[in-house]
Amino acid sequence: MNHRRSPEPLLWLLFSSGGMAAALMVPILLFLFGIAIPLDWFDPSYDHLSAVLHNWITRLILFGLSALALFHWAHRFRYTLYDGLQLKRYGTPIAALCYGGAVAGSVIAAALLLTI
Amino acid sequence: MTASTGRSYRRPIALFWWLSRRSYLLFVLRELSAVFVAWFVVYLLLLVNAIGDGAPSYARFVDWSGSSWVLVLNLIALAFVLLHVVTWFGLAPRAMVVRLRGHRIPPPQIVAAHYLAWLLLSAIVAWVVLR
């Protein structure tokens, strides 16, 4: 076995940065935009939200959060399928699907955040 | 069952092995939190797209996000994400050993620092969104 070229350390680093980013940022964003604003507890104006979103710092943070969170998902989901459903024999297609999905999602996020 | 021709024997594991113990179930629930993290990214990008498309599009997004199935999905997602937060911060002292002037910072303080950073960041995000 050739361990020198293993991508695992990089994938683990992305997983763990994504886990930290998601833990720090997702609860408040999900609470505000997924529960509080839909239930009308708060009603920030469209102009304000649009101004915040068009700030390049916001876009950079949202891109970083999206990409890292997706790689966090990819890594965990891959091992959930391996262990939870004992699908290790399909390891290669599962890994391709998970990390491929994370790459595709990151590209979509970048394209969206650059063009709005 | 086919006869084993190999050199090693592996005890078969039940497909739903993780239902047999509470700690196993909690482990699988923790792993499944990642699915809801991915859902959040999809939801966030839909929101970004709606805001980028103009005020009417954003109003339609808020209407849609208030429909009962989206609300229920987001509530479940929030519960799973909070499970992720608690388990992630709980493991942090095992992932990092911080030394200050030669003394190892005790694990409870590392966990507390994470929660403090979490509260601070959440307050900043809420302030930026709602001010």
**Is residue B79 domain-shared with residue B101, that is, in the same domain?**
no
Question: Most B CBs within 10 Å: which of A11, A30, A47, A83, as the mutation test of the B interface?
Answer: A30
By CB atoms closer than 10 A (0-12, 13-18, 19+), residue B121 is middle
**Is residue B79 domain-shared with residue B126, that is, in the same domain?**
no
The parent domain of residue B109 ranges over 96-131
Mean pLDDT along residues A110-114: 96
The answer to ipTM > 0.85 is yes
A82 CB contacts (<8 Å, ≥6 apart)? A88, A91, A94
What burial letters (b/e) apply to A58-69, b meaning 16+ CB within 10 Å?
A: ebeebbbbbbbb
CB contact under 8 A, A25 and B74: no
What CATH topology corresponds to A8-115?
Answer: 3 helical TM bundles of succinate and fumarate reductases (1.20.1300)
Instruction: Specify the amino acid at residue B99.
Output: R
The rounded mean pLDDT for chain A is 91
All residues of chain A having their beta carbon less than 8 Å from the beta carbon of residue B118 are 23-24, 27
Find the residue in B nearest to A115 (Cα). B52
Strand-pair partners of B8: none
Contact indicator for A58, B125 with CB cutoff of 8 Å: no
Residue A76's pLDDT is: 93
Q: Does residue B68 lie within any of the structural domains?
A: yes
Specify the number of domains making up chain B.
2
B47 vs chain A: nearest CA distance in angstroms? Answer: 8
The rounded mean pLDDT for chain B is 90
All residues of chain B having their beta carbon less than 8 Å from the beta carbon of residue A34 are 40, 43, 65, 70-71, 74-75, 77-78
**Is residue B32 domain-shared with residue B70, that is, in the same domain?**
yes
**Is residue B28 domain-shared with residue B74, that is, in the same domain?**
yes
**Is residue B122 domain-shared with residue B75, that is, in the same domain?**
no
Contact indicator for A78, A95 with CB cutoff of 8 Å: yes
Domain ranges of chain A: 8-115
pLDDT in tens, B42-97: 999 999 999 999 999 999 999 999 999 999 999 999 999 999 999 999 998 888 78
Find the residue in B nearest to A72 (Cα). B34
Q: Does residue B11 lie within any of the structural domains?
A: no
The DSSP code for B67 is S
